[in-house]
Structure 1
Amino acid sequence: MREAREAFGRIFEVPAGYLNTASVGVPTTATADAVAVALDAWRHGTGRATDFDGVVAAARAAFGTLVGVPAGRVAVGGSVSPLVGLVAAAVPDGARVAVPVGEFSSVSYPFAVQGRGITVTEVPPAELADADADWIAVSVVQSLDGRIADLDGLRAARGRGTRVLLDVTQAAGWLPLALDWADAVVGACYKWLFAPRGAAWMAVHPDLDLVPHAANWYAAADPWGSTTGLPPVLPDEARRLDASPAWYCHVGAADSLGWLAGLDLTAVHRHCGGLADRVRDGLGIAPTGSAIVHVDRPDAAERLTAAGLAVTARGGGARMSFALYNSDDDADRALKALL
């Protein structure tokens, strides 16, 4: 049953037992209302294209805050893999790329299809930071099981000369992040960032030189003055890599990410990771602090679903994910269904 839940100063109309944020996050009522207003203007022909410049800029800046970089280092995209593709295209011929075993394909595939003598090797997660590689590409939090990457080890690897790409799609919004040291940080909007799917961002280190393969009018120094004609005049910042934004997704993103960027993310992490660890403790699994729990039992997803909980069947078991709107009751219902 859908109910109104207050969390961190906002209201969510989310079903009890919704433990599926790692698939799709549920927006706050304020975010959903902001999108509805924009859609109503579209429906009645009162909206204008220039109306969206401010929300795109606001969402860009908020993503930068969430990962610890200034807005000038953030590029706008529609999803993660095309942004990763810009990085993969810049990897030199013959480069060695390391990814953890089980990495989400939107991170690994863009490197794996390059050819040009580039090799992509799957490495046990615990050994990733010490991999003999030119590049490491990894999710900060793994989609399958919630494993949190060894960020200190990865930062040390970059200090030794290995370049690092991080995907924060399953981490941004609940895990405090300070990733200004990484070469590229990509993330999509629709998990713990609670925005409509269709927006993504990439923070680019000043040392990383990328070709804007999808150069377009929106990536120009003066977008509205660059809809026709040559030559392209692009800005000297990450915005030169922008794709033309999905407007209504950025309306939601500006509202949601702006709110999240102002929260105490240490408290958010304590809440989300604490609920997940409550379940781990009840199941005899060591605590990790991750908001994602994977239960490696063939009947887990069936039992949880039968108990009215929204989860995802993954990896021969069940994946549960805890967000700001979840409660002790959600965790206890999951434990009751599995014990």
Structure 2
Amino acid sequence: MSEHPTDPQHERVTLSELQQHYPRVPGYLSACTAGLPAEATTAALRAFVDEWSAGSLDPKRIGAQLEACRALYGRLVGVATDRVAIGSQASQLASVVATAVPDDGEVLCVVGDFASLTHPFEQLRARGVRVRYAELEHLAAAIDARTSLVAWSHVQSATGAVSDAAAIAAAARSVGALTCVDLTQAVGWLPVDASSFDVTICHAYKWLCAPRGSAFMTVRDGLDDALTPLAAGWYSADDPWSSCYAGRTPLAAGAGRFDLSPAWPVVAGTVAALETISRIDLRVVHDHAAGLANSARSVLGLAPGDSAIVTWPDRDGSDLAAMTEAGITASGRAGNARVAFHLWNTPDDVARLQSALGASAG
């Protein structure tokens, strides 16, 4: 695995070419739960274990790979490399964002959003911070002069609904509120410009198909000092190897001050995952995934949508059980059955879904 990011503009491939780099698992409709690893990701993870068992790990080489991750992710979401911080999970990054909320401030969130985003803000009660909730479709209208921060998932985990992010961000700017957008269910199939928001966070193990344990945060230039690096450690400096001990612990000049010490076993696999998906225009992935999702909605008797995630009510779990019996890997969330389509899926997966459920889901 290379230590430096490739230039995705020079290595674009077609969808069919990229699909060859991922395993074909018939009926795997669960990228919204966990992405499938590219061949290069699997090889990188195995190589790490081999090096570890041979006593030949090189921490500085792993550090170079981590910088490749930072650069690749920045390119994917349209921000400069120094605006990207690296962590291990979304809630840890959201906890850093929570430090920017003033005492007695208000955080506006979405009803039913994922707990890793909302939970850290709920812990601010001792500072007088109130968390208010609104339905996703009414989030922009719910922003008012009381709002200090708006935090929402661009694509909702439980329903697959895609937010009108531009309208929400504009409404927040109009009252001087900060924006924090969770892109975990978006980046990898939905083109996103993270520079449109104050902060974004993303765990990479879903649509980016990285190993679990790699997460990213982007921070708007000029906002670093408004956030407190709660988990600052030896890796929170521009030169980590010169800041390992107390008395010499400067913070990085950019968003790297919010870095966590890297989880070494997943770094090489994350580089491979990001390099692989960076080889295709995400608009192509979007059109493919959303197109298959709408084909699935059609055969299930559901209305067309704009998301790669398809959900419908399944309170008793009978539809999920029928899909599992038919060899389909799906999920159930918040009383819904949930399937998702990514770049490796084909019309055969829609046919398998139709065979398992017919129009009963509608």
TM-score by length of structure 2 reads 0.89
- Cα distance between partner residues in 2 of 1:176 and 1:222: 32
Partners of 1:77 and 1:245 within 8 A in 2: yes
Residue 343 of structure 2 is aligned to residue 324 of structure 1? yes
- What amino acid is the match of 1:323? H
* Amino acid in structure 1 at the alignment position of 2:191: P
Residue 240 of structure 1 deviates from its aligned partner by 0.9
Distance 1:231 1:225 in 2: 7
Is 1:7–1:324's contact at 8 Å kept on the other side of the alignment?
no
AA partner of residue 27 (structure 1) = P
After superposition, the C-alpha distances for 1:102-153 in whole angstroms (9 at most, x for unaligned) are: 1000010000111111111110111101222221111111111110011121
Amino-acid identity (%): 39
Match of 1:176 in 2: 191
Q: For residues 179-207 of structure 1, what are the alpha-carbon distances to aligned partners after superposition, in whole Å with 9 as ceiling and x for unaligned?
A: 20211100011101111101101000123
Aligned to 1:140: 154
SS where residue 8 of structure 1 aligns? Answer: helix
Provide the residue aligned with 1:313 in structure 2.
Answer: 332
Q: Which residue of 1 aligns with 2:179?
A: 164
Match of 2:119 among 109, 128, 146: 109
| Shift, 1:18, TM fit | 0.6
**Higher mean C-alpha displacement, 194-203 vs 248-257:** 248-257
Question: Is 1:259 the counterpart of 2:259 in the alignment?
Answer: no
Structure 1 322/7 Cα, relative in aligned 2: closer, same or farther at 3 Å?
A: farther
Question: Is the contact between residue 300 and residue 317 of structure 1 (CA under 8 Å) also seen in structure 2?
Answer: no
Q: Is 1:338 the counterpart of 2:357 in the alignment? A: yes
Rounded to whole Å, the distance in 1 between the matches of 2:227 and 2:81 is 17
The count of aligned residue pairs is 335
Distance in 2 separating the partners of 1:120 and 1:246: 32
What is the CA-CA distance between 1:9 and the residue it aligns to?
Answer: 5.2
Give SS of 2:85's match.
strand
Alpha-carbon distance in 2 for matches of 1:186, 1:37 = 28
- What is the alpha-carbon distance in structure 1 between the residues aligned to residue 184 and residue 339 of structure 2? 16
| 2-structure distance, mates of 1:312, 1:9 | 23
Q: CA RMSD in A?
A: 1.5
Which of 227, 230, 254 is the aligned partner of 1:213?
230
Equivalent in the alignment of 1:121 = 132
**Structure with greater strand share of residues:** 1
Q: Distance in 1 between matches of 2:344 and 2:270?
A: 18
Q: Specify the SS of the correspondent of 2:238.
A: coil
Question: Aligned pair 1:43/2:49, yes or no?
Answer: no
Superposed counterparts of 1:178-197, under 5 Å: 178-197=193-212
For 1:303-330, what per-residue CA distance to the aligned partner results, in whole angstroms no more than 9, with x for missing partners?
1111110111222231101111111000
**1:66 counterpart = 2:65:** no
Distance 2:237 2:260 in 1: 10
C-alpha deviation, 1:292, in angstroms: 0.6
Tell me whether 154-163 or 260-269 shows the greater mean CA deviation.
154-163
Q: Of residues 95, 98, 105 in structure 1, which corresponds to 2:108?
A: 98
Once structures 1 and 2 are overlaid, which stretch shifts more, 150-159 or 119-128? 150-159
SS of 2:332's equivalent in the other structure is strand
**2:307 paired with 1:290:** yes
* Residue identity matched to 1:191: K
For the 8 Å contact 1:219–1:243, the answer to whether it is kept is yes
Instruction: Spell out structure 1 runs of 4+ moving beyond 4 A.
Output: none
1:27 maps to 2:61? no
Post-superposition Cα deviations, 1:203-262, rounded to whole Å, max 9, x if no partner, equal 001232211121111111221111113142122100011100112211111111122223
What secondary structure, in the 3-state scheme, does the structure 2 residue paired with 1:83 have?
helix
Q: Which runs of no fewer than 5 residues in structure 1 stay unpaired?
A: none
CA distance in 2, matches of 1:234, 1:164: 24
Question: Quick one: which amino acid aligns to residue 138 of structure 1?
Answer: W
The corresponding residue for 2:169 is 155
Q: Which of 243, 246, 255 is residue 260 of structure 2 equivalent to? A: 243
Residues in 1 aligned to 2:117 and 2:17: alpha-carbon distance in whole angstroms: 32
CA contact (8 A) 2:156 2:162 kept: yes
- Structure 1, 253-262 or 20-29: larger mean CA deviation: 253-262
Q: Which amino acid aligns with 1:8?
A: L
Q: Distance in 2 between matches of 1:203 and 1:37?
A: 29
Query: Which runs of 5 or more structure 2 residues have no equivalent in the other structure?
Result: 1-14
After superposition, the C-alpha distances for 1:16-55 in whole angstroms (9 at most, x for unaligned) are 1011111111101111101211221011111221120121
Deviation at 1:13, TM superposition (A): 2.2
TM-score (norm 1): 0.95
Alpha-carbon separation, structure 1, partners of 2:198 and 2:279: 25
